[in-house]
Amino acid sequence: MNPKKAKIVLNDLHNELGLEENLVNDILDFYWQHVRKTIVTAAQPRINIENLGIFQIKYKALDKTITKYENAINKLGTENFNKYTKYDNMKSRLDVLLKLKEEMQLEKQRRYQIKSNKYGNTTGGMEEKGKDS
């Protein structure tokens, strides 16, 4: 799959669908604006974009970001009213990230439970299962 420039995609869709170029441009802008917003807000741990792939949040990066926000909130404090809007904005972002981390942990536990139900307890080695005869 070779990458295409936006002008080529616009012209192809304009010719294929028979719509005005402005309308096709607005549709593409709306779609990609929605994709960017979904990725930036980190509302879901995995975002699947057709013909492009799956974007997945990494545990380590999420932990680093949470730590960064917690440190920034602790430095800001709430004594100064001028900084309260920034504090409130960071606090709401931190709440979203903590909720996302909790969802990811629940998903990890669910996957582990499925694997353990399917394959049994796989923590032991071959020595624990018994001797060969």
Q: What would the pLDDT profile of 72-110 be if each residue is shown by its tens digit?
A: 888 887 677 778 888 888 899 999 999 999 999 999 999
| pLDDT for 23 | 87
Residue 3: both structure tokens together: 């990458």
User: What is the average per-residue pLDDT within 25-40?
Assistant: 86
Banded pLDDT at 132 (limits 50, 70, 90): low
Instruction: For residues 26 and 28, give the distance between their C-alpha atoms in angstroms, rounded to a whole number.
Output: 6
Helix (H, G, I), strand (E, B) or coil at 98: helix
- % of the chain surpassing 70 pLDDT: 86
Instruction: For residues 31 and 37, give the distance between their C-alpha atoms in angstroms, rounded to a whole number.
Output: 10
Instruction: For residues 74 and 62, give the distance between their C-alpha atoms in angstroms, rounded to a whole number.
Output: 18
Residues 6+ apart with CB under 8 A from 78: 84, 87
- For residues 84 and 78, the answer to whether their CB atoms sit within 8 Å is yes
| pLDDT for 128 | 56
- For residues 22 and 72, the answer to whether their CB atoms sit within 8 Å is no
List the chain domain ranges.
1-41, 58-119
| pLDDT for 63 | 92
Banded pLDDT at 130 (limits 50, 70, 90): low
Instruction: For residues 67 and 54, give the distance between their C-alpha atoms in angstroms, rounded to a whole number.
Output: 25
User: What is the average per-residue pLDDT within 46-75?
Assistant: 88
| pLDDT for 122 | 59
